[in-house]
Amino acid sequence: MRRSFAPWVKPDAKPLIRFENVTKRFGDSTAVDHLSLNIFEGEFFCLLGPSGCGKTTLMRMLAGFETPTKGTITLGDQNLAGVPPYRRPVNMMFQSYALFPHMSVEKNIAFGLKQDGMSKDQIADRVGEMLRLVQLEKLARRYPSQLSGGQRQRVALARALAKKPKVLLLDEPLGALDKKLREETQFELMDIQHELHMTFVVVTHDQEEAMTMADRIAVMDHGRIVQVATPGEIYEQPKTRFIAEFVGDVNIIEGHVQGQENGLWRVKTSSAAVPLTIDDPDEVLHSGQAVAIAVRPEKMVIQRDPPGPSAINVLTGEVWDIGYLGDWTVYRVKLATGEILRVTRANASRFVENPIEWDEQVYVTFAPDAAVILAE
Amino acid sequence: MTMRRLSVFNVTSLVIGFAFLYLPILLLVIYSFNASRLVTVWGGFSTHWYGALFRNEALMEAAWVTLRVAFLSATLATLLGTLAALALARYGRFPGRTLFTGMVYAPMVMPEVITGLSLLLFFVAVGFDRGFWTITLAHTTLTMCFVTVVVQSRLMTFDRSLEEAAMDLGAPPLRTFFSVTLPLIAPSIVAGFLLAFTLSMDDLVIASFNTGPGATTLPIKIYSAVRLGLSPEVNAASAILIGIVTVGVISATLLSKRSVLRSRRNSH
């Protein structure tokens, strides 16, 4: 059902939120730098990036807590310039949750509804609905200090959803939860978003979180957007070395383009005896150009026996480290050049006869289409 | 924190320290229950002087003036002090902030004689008749900075995202202040008020400078009574004063502590 949702590929689709050439400076430092971005109605959109990349500033400008130095932000047909936070049809779930400590759970959820001048009965109905949504009916009269971290997170979510905002902003929504709860909550957030057909914009520094939840991810660095794409595209076709390294694990092999043969690129590198063959037809490169080849660890194959003479993309080295993670085993293979490759293998069977051991000579291979060429 | 056992040295210094601070006060309280008219001779336990005190119209009148001055000046000081605290804690680095901070806190370290004298000169210069209102205003000047200190320290630990959340949910700034900020800093405001109240109640120096006919506060009355000779009634009045001040200061401390603790507990 979700698969068909891709308004961003339709040329006539009208975005709900438009950032146009937005810049935000704090004194001498530029937090957001000439950024343009479209977010569509019903999207689960993630702003992903390391701390200090400007993602939180971008969200706070949407909420109205910061004013852009330059550029415009529009929501629907409304230019948001000069609209204060309390008049925007946008609600935010804060990283610290920001629950009012002097109000009970139900009063917290009712706060926004009260500001709209809703009648008491309507407020009570809506609060009840929200409490059911986040499964906190029994804790309506508790105070925030009497709740666990996970419960507080739900109250914060219910409070932000209560006013049925056009856009819900979530600032590191799962940052304060432990791993297990975080995973559960990720799926819950997705369900809620789906059920309410609401536009969610999430700020996170956790790539796994972004990959799991988002329809699209915008990867940010130094106040700019480096790539906006679906999680699959971000992972499999990263545009830059920064993204390849920030999202997931990756092996980077540096080299120079030698030429093109049958649509495949030949890249000469000091890491392998024979030039590597890469199937990345979208890249436009010229001979002699310096490039980085990015290969995900799970797309490399490790073996003890030498591959046949016709094999391509062969790297040789010795096993430096083995990490057993249960579902995966991670091999760190040291090449003759001193580079360390990370190769993972799924532990599909419970017992392996004669497994690869420390210090063994091994061969690492990968298919031409397993790699991505990143122009330096 | 490790609990360290009290050594003989620690116990001794504690005892000497507390004795130094509180023995005279304790003596005064004990002698206020003296049956004898002679202040320095113990004549058995009696609450006689407390009764006499309440029948002493001059003393009661002074007490009434003191309470009214304390209440009014503490109210004014709380209002002004809270506003100053908000300005200092909230408006970032406005030009002259350091100077302003210094000026707000100056009365704390200014010798009382100087404060009293300068206020007196001011009132004389503007032709303000000295009496009830001049003492009230002088005490407001004296106590405002204490309110500012207490409220500002609370505001420093205040999570601003609470206010942002209120605005995000549709509350304009003023409503945000009254529905979120004020209830949360209220304990520290009350603490500031109590502190201002007790400071005003036991002030002698500034009150003496700025008093006028018909506006004698209890400390002034006690001081002048003692100059004519010690009286057990004055002991009783002082004991009551000590009681009120103690209760005020202790509740102020507890309130501000609780409010800081609460803000800390909610921040994680």
Same domain, A181 and A39: yes
B92 touches chain A (CB under 8 A): no
| H helices, E strands: number in chain B | 12, 0
Residue B229 makes CB contacts below 8 A (sequence gap 6+) with: none
Using the predicted structure, report yes or no on whether residue A201 has a pLDDT greater than 90: yes
Same domain, A190 and A315: no
The letter for the amino acid at A124 is: A
Alpha carbon distances (Å) from A102 to A321, B91, B179? 54, 25, 10
Q: Which residues of B touch A163 (CB under 8 A)?
A: 169-170
Q: How far is residue A320's CA from residue A309's CA, in Å, rounded to a whole number?
A: 26
- Check residue B3 and give its pLDDT: 54
Q: Which residues of A touch B172 (CB under 8 A)?
A: 84, 86
The kind and range of the H/E element at A38 are strand A29-39
Mean pLDDT of B239-247: 88
Interface mutation vs chain B, best among A59, A61, A88, A92, most B CBs within 10 Å: A92
pLDDT above 70: percentage of residues in chain A: 99
Q: Which residues of B touch A100 (CB under 8 A)?
A: 162, 165-166, 180
Tell me what the pLDDT averaged over chain B comes to: 87
CATH of the domain at A220: 3.40.50.300
Same domain, A203 and A258: no
Same domain, A208 and A117: yes
Q: What's CA A272's distance to the chain center, in Å?
A: 33
Indicate the residue among A245, A261, A291 that finishes a domain: A245
pLDDT band at B109 (very low <50, low <70, confident <90, very high): confident
Same domain, A234 and A287: no
With vertex at residue B110, the alpha carbon angle to CA B109 and CA B111, rounded to the nearest 5 degrees, is: 110
Q: B166 vs A100: CB contact, 8 Å cut-off? A: yes
A100 touches chain B (CB under 8 A): yes
- Check residue A86 and give its pLDDT: 96
- Check residue B260 and give its pLDDT: 65
Please name the member of B165, B179, B263 whose beta carbon is closest to the beta carbon of A98: B165
Using the predicted structure, report yes or no on whether residue B268 has a pLDDT greater than 50: no
Interface mutation vs chain B, best among A90, A104, A115, A168, most B CBs within 10 Å: A115
A126 touches chain B (CB under 8 A): no
Tell me what the pLDDT averaged over chain A comes to: 93
Q: Which residues of A touch B262 (CB under 8 A)?
A: 101, 145
Interface mutation vs chain A, best among B161, B162, B169, most A CBs within 10 Å: B169
- Contact pairs from chain A to chain B, CB under 8 Å: 68
- Closest residue on chain B to A90 (Cα): B168
pLDDT band at B81 (very low <50, low <70, confident <90, very high): very high
Q: How far is residue A363's CA from residue A316's CA, in Å, rounded to a whole number?
A: 5
Residue A163 makes CB contacts below 8 A (sequence gap 6+) with: A91, A112, A113, A116, B169, B170
- Check residue A1 and give its pLDDT: 43
A91 touches chain B (CB under 8 A): yes
Same domain, A290 and A206: no
Same domain, A240 and A324: no
- Closest residue on chain B to A65 (Cα): B164
- Closest by alpha carbon to B48, among B63, B58, B37, B62? B37
Same domain, A255 and A367: yes
Q: A144 vs B168: CB contact, 8 Å cut-off? A: no
Please name the member of A65, A98, A160 whose beta carbon is closest to the beta carbon of B162: A98
- Check residue B265 and give its pLDDT: 61
A23: helix, strand or coil: strand
Using the predicted structure, report yes or no on whether residue A19 has a pLDDT greater than 60: yes
Same domain, A266 and A235: no
Q: How many domains does chain A have?
A: 2
Please name the member of A91, A101, A112 whose beta carbon is closest to the beta carbon of B266: A101
- Check residue B96 and give its pLDDT: 82
Range of the domain at A11: 2-245
Same domain, A167 and A43: yes
Residue B85 makes CB contacts below 8 A (sequence gap 6+) with: B147, B148, B149, B151, B152, B155
Q: How far is residue A125's CA from residue A164's CA, in Å, rounded to a whole number?
A: 14
Q: A92 vs B162: CB contact, 8 Å cut-off? A: no
Same domain, A75 and A197: yes
Indicate the residue among A184, A216, A245 that finishes a domain: A245
Contact call for residues A288 and A257 (beta carbons, < 8 A): yes
CA atoms within 13 A of residue B165's CA, in its CB half-sphere:
28
Q: What are B145-176's pLDDT values in tens digits?
A: 999 999 999 998 899 999 999 999 999 999 99
Indicate the residue among A211, A245, A279 that finishes a domain: A245
Give the gap in angstroms from C-alpha B5 to the nearest C-alpha of chain A. Answer: 34
Give the gap in angstroms from C-alpha B193 to the nearest C-alpha of chain A. Answer: 21
Residue B226 makes CB contacts below 8 A (sequence gap 6+) with: B234
CATH T-level fold of B49-266: MetI-like fold (1.10.3720)
Q: B169 vs A100: CB contact, 8 Å cut-off? A: no
Q: A92 vs B159: CB contact, 8 Å cut-off? A: no
Same domain, A220 and A114: yes
DSSP A349: S
Q: How far is residue A197's CA from residue A194's CA, in Å, rounded to a whole number?
A: 5
- Check residue B98 and give its pLDDT: 85
Q: What are B114-148's pLDDT values in tens digits?
A: 999 999 999 999 999 899 999 999 999 999 999 99
Residue A113 makes CB contacts below 8 A (sequence gap 6+) with: A122, A123, A126, A127, A162, A163
